[in-house]
């Protein structure tokens, strides 16, 4: 049987993943990654999470280690998160953590230690395509699917990756944890952006506190399309295209949405919902899982967002052409392409291109 290094976050998904692999007769070792060194109350990277992972490993009879990747986490996740907001982009910290830490740094450490495979508790699957290539597939539970945040994985990583809970509904994962008597059976799911605390909140208020300690936040002027000032926002860095809530528009009766952001001038333009729509979304760094795929795709632009059909512009090979007008995608947001519920490509949204 294979020697497998299992990333144990201390949550129910990863601990059940480890238990299933042990039941399968594999030689399993658990590892918990210490990433964020600051304050946290997220159920991620805390002392209690390390203890939960250690206790479950002990119960399963497997070795357990803690790897401190804090410096790499700051360099590849936290610092870019702050820099993206400062530059007017919407960051994807969970995607960057997967890209640089869990599926790069951890893979290289596993190589150095002689492990054959790595396993995690992600709700996704590794699917073999008709051409023999491997792709990230959606998890069986559509409400917990994490394929979006794993879209960047390449063939070498997918060949060595195991996702034991990807074929289960989340309720069944908890049932398995209860049947096995695991201490994580009823543990709440961890939240995204582990380095932002629940208080004052993980929405705009929490981001403002976190970013305000690291970069200057600049107030923004809100104008309509005629250039008339209609309101203000406390920080241009936290305004996103398509946003409606959280804008001080002086009690305007009609719904207005952010349709354009001039980050340098700190000016936000608002308009009607229809004015947020576009037929094209640029993805200048679009990368294919295993070579370009022609035809129609289903495209997803946020971790739990709606899925809309589109094709790729044959002229430039990187612009998404929506079948129906779609809300503009925030600069820097990940755009992921699926065929038959498997990832075939993805990248980050660039500036909205002008219609031809």
> Could you give the percent of the chain with pLDDT greater than 70?
92
CATH number at residue 249: 2.30.30.280
Both 107 and 69 in one domain: the answer is yes
Number of H helices, E strands in the chain: 9, 18
Both 242 and 257 in one domain: the answer is yes
Say which of 44, 94, 194, 301 is annotated catalytic: 194
CATH number at residue 335: 2.40.30.10
What is the rounded average pLDDT of the residues 33-53?
A: 72
| Nearest-angstrom CA–CA distance, 247 and 231 | 8
For residue 134, tell me if it sits in a domain: no
Write the pLDDT tens digit of every residue in 70-113: 999 999 999 999 999 999 999 999 999 999 999 999 999 999 99
Write the pLDDT tens digit of every residue in 220-276: 999 998 999 998 998 999 999 988 887 877 666 678 899 999 999 999 999 999 999
For residue 354, tell me if it sits in a domain: no
Both 61 and 95 in one domain: the answer is yes
What is the rounded average pLDDT of the residues 10-39?
A: 92
Quick one: pLDDT band at residue 191, thresholds 50, 70, 90? low
- Examine the residue annotation and report whether 44 is marked as an active-site residue of this protein: no
Both 21 and 96 in one domain: the answer is yes
Both 169 and 254 in one domain: the answer is no
Both 90 and 227 in one domain: the answer is no
- Examine the residue annotation and report whether 97 is marked as an active-site residue of this protein: yes
Q: Angle 204-212/79-86 helices, nearest 10 degrees?
A: 100
The count of structural domains within the chain is: 3
For residue 129, tell me if it sits in a domain: no
Write the pLDDT tens digit of every residue in 283-313: 999 999 888 888 999 999 998 888 999 999 9
Domain of 9 in residue numbering reads as 3-121+164-179
Give the three-class secondary structure for 124.
strand
Which residue is it, tokens 């519920």? Answer: 341
Which pLDDT value is given to residue 354? 63
Both 17 and 94 in one domain: the answer is yes
pLDDT at 339 over 90: yes
For residue 192, tell me if it sits in a domain: no
End-to-end Cα spacing for the chain? 57
Both 260 and 290 in one domain: the answer is no
Domain ends where: 239, 271, 303?
271
């Amino acid at each position: 049987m294979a020697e497998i290094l299992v990333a144990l976050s201390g949550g129910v998904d990863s601990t059940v993943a480890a238990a299933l692999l042990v039941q399968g007769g594999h030689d399993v070792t658990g590892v918990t990654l210490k990433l964020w060194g600051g304050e946290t109350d997220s159920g991620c990277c805390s002392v209690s999470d390390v203890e939960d992972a250690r206790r479950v490993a002990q119960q399963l009879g497997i070795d357990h280690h803690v790897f401190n990747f804090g410096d790499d986490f700051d360099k590849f996740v936290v610092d870019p998160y702050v820099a993206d907001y400062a530059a007017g982009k919407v960051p994807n910290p969970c995607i960057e953590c997967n890209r640089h830490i869990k599926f790069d740094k951890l893979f290289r450490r596993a190589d150095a230690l002689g492990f054959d495979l790595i396993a995690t508790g992600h709700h996704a699957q590794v699917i073999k395509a008709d051409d023999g290539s491997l792709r990230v597939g959606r998890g069986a539970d559509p409400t917990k699917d994490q394929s979006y945040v794993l879209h960047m994985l390449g063939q070498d990583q997918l060949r060595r990756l195991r996702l034991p809970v990807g074929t289960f509904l989340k309720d069944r994962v908890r049932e398995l944890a209860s049947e096995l008597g695991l201490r994580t059976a009823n543990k709440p799911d961890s939240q995204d952006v582990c380095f932002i605390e629940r208080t004052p909140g993980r929405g705009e208020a929490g981001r403002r506190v976190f970013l305000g300690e690291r970069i200057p936040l600049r107030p923004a002027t809100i104008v309509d399309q005629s250039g008339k000032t209609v309101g203000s926002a406390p920080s241009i860095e936290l305004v996103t295209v398509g946003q409606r809530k959280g804008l001080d528009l002086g009690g305007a009766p009609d719904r207005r949405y952010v349709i354009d952001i001039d980050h340098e001038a700190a000016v936000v333009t608002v308009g009607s919902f229809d004015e947020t729509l576009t037929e094209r979304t640029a993805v200048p760094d679009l990368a294919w899982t295993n070579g370009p795929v022609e035809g129609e795709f289903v495209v997803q632009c946020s971790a739990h967002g709606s899925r809309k059909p589109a094709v790729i512009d044959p002229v430039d090979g990187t612009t998404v052409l929506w079948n129906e007008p779609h809300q503009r995608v925030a600069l820097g947001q990940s755009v992921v392409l699926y065929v038959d519920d498997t990832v075939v490509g993805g990248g980050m949204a660039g500036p909205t291109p002008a219609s031809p």
